[in-house]
Amino acid sequence: MEQNAQKTKFDLATWSNLANIGSNSAISGIAQMVNQDLKVTTFNLEEVSMKNASSLIGKPDDQIVGIYLMFTGNADGHIMLAFPPPTAYELVDMAMGLPPGSTDTLGEMEKSVLGEIGNIAGSFFLNAIADIAGSRLSPSPPVVVVDMAGAIMGSILAEVFEERESAFAIKLVFATPTRQIEGRFLVLPMSGSIASKQEG
Amino acid sequence: MSTTVETIVIGLGEWAVRKNDSAALTCVGLGSCIALCAYDPVSKVGGMAHMVLPSNESGTKIASAKYVDTGIPMLLEEMKKKGALISRTVVKIAGGAQMLSVPGLNGRLNVADRNIAATKTALAQAGVSATGTEVGGNSGRTVQLFLDTGRVTVRATGKETCEL
């Protein structure tokens, strides 16, 4: 039992060190793509229960745009970028150099742009961590979905909590200085040897 | 004059059974999970479970509403203890939507279909059949069981609320 507690503490510290660097890298990737000055306003690394995890990207009935990637390699896990729909529209305008207010719905092209934003955020996060840890972490293609936050998180949490009662969540909120854009970036690492690579 | 119905939110892996109550048991933002709604109109005993996974594969067979295979018998047993007769209990199910499909990962995250199948199996084992189902698809749902009447409503994303 004590050994488990020590392992838990160690994992938390390791992920905390790596996650901070990875998260800042992810936000810098998004900032470059949308040509905006983005800052991390809140950073949390916490152990969450399944019940609490269901509201990590918003209240369960909040309508959100979620950009999801799974990662595999030395460690497995899930990455989610989440925005309220109006914010997602603004991001599309910024990424495509369109006048503000041009986008008011998400068709195939707009979803593709958002998927690319998720792809960049996920890749920047994973590459920053993999470079430090000397490990291999590969993202899946991004999936963009618009629905209730609880519904989007459900199948992710089913996998994360299949054989455990708590999980680590890396959550950060980022925004422009004017808060024109505010989004959530969530990582749920599941398993793998990334922590043990740091141990030595 | 309108009255406000108390809403009791049933979170992931949670369940509740109430008797002679006027609240609405509610699963909010249901994706791949299954909401099981059960109601005995005579004893006025109603219950809801918000089940996340088809079965407990960890080897620790803890009865929990997190799993369909343990959640359904547990809910029905608790209803019996509160005076429900299972033979006259009306059961309705909703959820099991495939929200995320990641190309090239051989169906990882595809827990929705397994949840639906496990629910049908567990209900059959309990000798119960669902009289209302709203499962599958790829949209989120909010499900409510009104304990005064047993009425069950489902609101799917982008659709009007409908009665099950």
| pLDDT tens figures, B71-125 | 999 999 999 999 999 999 999 999 999 998 877 665 677 899 999 999 999 999 9
Report how far apart, in Å, the C-alpha atoms of B122 and of each of A161, B72, B126 are: 21, 7, 6
Answer yes or no: do B100 and A163 touch at CB < 8 A.
Answer: no
**Does residue A73 belong to the interface with chain B, where contact is any CB pair within 8 Å?**
no
Is A105 an 8 Å CB contact of chain B? no
Given A60, A150, A155, which is nearest B100 (Cβ)?
A155
Average pLDDT of A168-191? 84
A147, A153 contact by CB (below 8 A): no
Interface test with A, best of B53, B67, B100 (most A CBs within 10 A): B100
Is residue A117 very low, low, confident or very high in pLDDT (cuts 50, 70, 90)?
very high
Is the pLDDT at A169 greater than 70? The verdict is yes
- Buried b or exposed e, range A165-193, using 16+ CB within 10 angstroms: eebbbbbbebbbeeeebebbbbbbbbebe
Q: Using CA atoms, how far apart are residues B72 and B129, in angstroms rounded to an integer?
A: 12
Chain B contact present for A173, CB below 8 A: no
Q: How far is A50 from chain B (nearest CA, A)?
A: 7
Would you state the structure tokens that stand for residue A71, as one six-digit string? 């990662």
Nearest to A155 among B13, B32, B57 (CB): B32
The mean per-residue pLDDT over the stretch A4-27 comes to: 70
What pLDDT sits at residue A45? Answer: 86
Q: pLDDT tier at B1 (50, 70, 90 boundaries)?
A: low
Q: What is the mean pLDDT of residues A47-52?
A: 87
**Contact (CB, 8 A) for A194 and B68:** no
First-to-last alpha carbon distance for chain A, in angstroms, is 23
- What pLDDT does A153 receive? 92
- The model scores a pTM over 0.95: no
Record: contact B52-A54, CB cut-off 8 A: no
pLDDT tens digits, A66-113: 999 999 888 889 999 999 999 999 999 999 989 989 999 999 999 999
Confidence band for B57, pLDDT divided at 50, 70 and 90:
confident
Residue B97 belongs to what H/E stretch?
A: none
pLDDT score for B59 = 66
Residues of chain B contacting A167 with CB distance shorter than 8 Å: none
Mean pLDDT in residue range A117-134: 91
The yes-or-no answer on residue B162 being catalytic is no
* pLDDT tops 90 at residue B150: yes
| Rounded Cα–Cα distance for residues B48 and B35 (Å) | 7
Instruction: Give CA–CA dist A114/A143, Å, rounded.
Output: 9
Least CB-CB distance to B31: which of A62, A152, A161? A152
Coil, strand or helix: which one is B73? helix
Nearest to A92 by CA among A69, A67, A117, A68: A117
Whether the pLDDT of residue A150 is over 50: the answer is yes
Contact B49, B75 (CB under 8 A): yes
CB atoms within 10 A of CB B59: 6
Q: What is the pLDDT of residue B142?
A: 97
Tokens 């059961």, residue located: B91
Backbone angles phi, psi at B110, to 5 degrees: -85, 65
pLDDT band of B56, cuts 50, 70, 90 = confident
Task: Provide the pairing of β-strand B141-146 with B24-30.
Answer: antiparallel
- pLDDT exceeding 90 applies to what percent of chain A? 46
| Amino acid at residue number A190 | M
A155 three-state secondary structure: helix
Residues A181 and A175: beta-carbon distance below 8 Å = yes
pLDDT at A104: 95
Average pLDDT on B6-10 reads: 96
Using the Cβ of B53 and the Cβ atoms of chain A, whether some distance falls under 8 Å is answered with yes
At residue A196, does pLDDT exceed 50?
no
* Cα A117 to chain centroid, rounded: 11
Q: Which of A5-9, A61-65, A133-137 has the largest mean confidence?
A: A61-65
Q: What integer pLDDT is reported at residue A12 of this predicted model? A: 64
> How far is Cα A87 from Cα A85, in angstroms, rounded to an integer?
5
Confidence of residue B147 (pLDDT cuts 50, 70, 90): very high
| Nearest chain B CA: its distance from A178 CA (Å) | 31
- Write the CB contacts of B49 (distance below 8 Å, at least 6 apart in sequence): B10, B14, B15, B34, B35, B36, B65, B71, B72, B74, B75
Q: State whether A162 and B31 contact (CB < 8 Å).
A: no
**B89 closest CA partner among B144, B63, B53, B127:** B127
pLDDT for residue B107 = 67
Cite the DSSP H helix spans in chain B: 68-81, 111-125
CB atoms within 10 A of CB B92: 23
Query: Residue A27 pLDDT more than 70?
Result: yes
Q: How confident is the model at residue A199 (pLDDT cuts 50, 70, 90)?
A: very low
Q: Check CB contact of B112 with chain A, cutoff 8 Å.
A: yes
User: CB distance from B12 to chain A under 8 Å?
Assistant: yes
In this prediction, residue A5 carries a pLDDT of 42
**Cβ burial, residue B38 (10 Å; 0-12/13-18/19+):** buried
Query: Please, what is the average pLDDT of chain A?
Result: 85
pLDDT confidence of residue B80: 97
Asked if A140 reaches chain B (Cβ–Cβ under 8 Å), the answer is yes
* pLDDT tens digits, B32-46: 999 999 999 999 999
Quickly state the pLDDT bin for A4 (edges 50, 70, 90): very low
Chain A residues inside the 8 Å CB shell of B154:
none
